[in-house]
């Protein structure tokens, strides 16, 4: 299938999925602080992600590009990023690297947001030359390399050979002149995957767990014979952050993407060790169904919710959420304990 048509199908199916209200973030809760001793007006939501100082921990994560119809979507996303100071990643640029006629569907992001933090995006199958071209296309500040093994296996025209991924990631990291982030697309990461990426020289990792857009479902909707048994494949974002906590040491930044619904989820993600929280499906749905004013108001609401949580906890600076005790219960706790994760340590912090 033509890549442009595939991109449009992905958008259509992504918008029709991911309507479940509950996910693993519901298994995580803070303890109340009756005497927080701070003022809402004094809270600061700046965050450091690798070498970047972010005005907000919310990252508009990789979604689309590669078709004429997606140009307007990326334009709107770039305007939101510009107006609210959010970092933004584009969708996979492999389409434009193969077909330069769709380059503008990505380049529009830099045109609308000339001074913002923009992430280019390629797959782990890309060459070093393709990686450099993707960065140049956007004058990008950093490069995302996405991992999507199960999606590729379910995609009718997807890849079937995943040899050499780590070697290519390491080579690209040495080849490009900007920081490199590796991200999962919704199936989560174990501690062994995180360690392997760190050993390959990657210091910014998006654990990309389940809970948001389910790309196994998206690809099954495109198949003549769906493989529904794989739609629950993987780990949640919460589980992935717990796994990463056992592997990521000093100098490693984590991003939590998958199932972020509101500002309280952002606070939980940061408390679990993330420096940023990626949102994709929710904001895609906004730009497709709401006015720009309503989209900006939604981002304002997420920031407000985050600051409410920080104020209630007595936390003035975002990074201080990392010391807050967390109660982790439900199926997330059961699965974490099977993996040998001591949840009592999280509950008894401070």
As to burial, measured by CB atoms within 10 angstroms (0-12 exposed, 13-18 middle, 19+ buried), residue 48 is middle
Could you report the per-residue pLDDT of 65-118, keeping only the tens digit for each? 888 889 999 999 999 999 999 999 999 999 999 999 999 999 999 999 999 999
CATH architecture classification, 3-26+54-307 = Alpha-Beta Barrel (3.20)
Pairing state between β 326-328 and 204-206: unpaired
DSSP alpha helix (H) spans, 176-291: 191-199, 215-220, 237-245, 263-271, 281-289
Which positions ≥6 away from 97 have C-beta within 8 Å?
122, 126, 130, 133, 134
pLDDT one digit per residue (tens) for the chain, 350 residues: 555 555 555 555 455 565 557 899 999 999 999 999 999 999 999 999 999 999 999 999 988 888 888 999 999 999 999 999 999 999 999 999 999 999 999 999 999 999 999 999 999 999 999 999 999 999 999 999 999 999 999 999 889 999 999 999 999 999 999 999 999 999 999 999 999 999 999 999 999 999 988 989 999 999 999 999 999 999 999 999 999 999 998 999 999 999 999 999 999 999 999 999 999 999 999 999 999 999 999 999 999 999 999 999 999 999 999 999 999 999 999 999 999 999 999 999 97
Beta carbons within 8 Å of 153's beta carbon, 6+ residues apart: 160, 230
Model pLDDT, residue 15? 56
- In angstroms, the Cα distances linking 166 to 125, 150, 196, 243 are 10, 17, 8, 19
Instruction: Sketch the domain layout of the chain as residue ranges.
Output: 3-26+54-307
Closest CA to 240 of 215, 209, 266, 277: 209
CA pair distance 208, 213, nearest whole angstrom: 10
């Amino acid at each position: 299938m033509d890549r442009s048509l595939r991109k449009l199908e992905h958008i259509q199916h992504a918008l029709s999925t991911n309507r479940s209200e509950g996910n693993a973030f519901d298994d995580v809760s803070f303890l109340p602080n009756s005497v927080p001793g701070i003022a809402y007006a004094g809270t600061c939501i700046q965050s450091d992600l690798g070498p970047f100082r972010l005005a907000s921990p919310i990252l508009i994560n990789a979604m689309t590009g590669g078709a004429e119809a997606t140009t307007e979507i990326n334009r709107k996303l770039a305007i939101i990023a510009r107006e609210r100071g959010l970092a933004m990643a584009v969708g996979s640029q492999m389409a434009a690297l193969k077909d330069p006629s769709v380059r503008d569907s990505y380049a529009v992001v830099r045109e609308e947001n000339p001074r913002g933090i923009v992430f280019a995006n390629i797959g782990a199958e890309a060459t070093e030359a393709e990686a450099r071209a993707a960065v140049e296309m956007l004058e990008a500040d950093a490069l995302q390399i996405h991992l999507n093994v199960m999606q590729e296996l379910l995609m009718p025209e997807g890849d079937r050979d995943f040899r050499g991924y780590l070697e290519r990631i390491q080579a690209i990291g040495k080849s490009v002149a900007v920081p490199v982030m590796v991200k999962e697309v919704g199936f989560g990461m174990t501690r062994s995957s995180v360690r392997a990426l760190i050993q390959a020289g990657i210091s910014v990792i998006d654990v990309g767990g389940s809970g948001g857009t389910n790309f196994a479902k998206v690809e099954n909707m495109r198949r003549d014979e769906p493989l529904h048994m794989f739609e629950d494949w993987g780990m949640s974002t919460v589980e992935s952050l717990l796994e990463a906590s056992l592997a990521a040491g000093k100098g490693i930044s984590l991003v939590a993407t998958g199932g972020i619904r509101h500002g309280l989820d952002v606070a939980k993600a940061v408390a679990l060790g993330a420096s940023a929280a990626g949102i994709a499906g929710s904001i895609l749905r906004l730009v497709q169904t709401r006015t720009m004013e309503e989209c900006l108001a939604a981002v304002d609401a997420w920031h407000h919710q985050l600051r409410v949580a920080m104020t209630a906890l007595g936390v003035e600076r975002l990074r201080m959420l990392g010391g807050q005790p967390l109660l982790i219960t439900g199926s997330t706790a059961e699965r974490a304990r099977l993996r040998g994760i001591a949840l009592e340590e999280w509950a008894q912090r401070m």
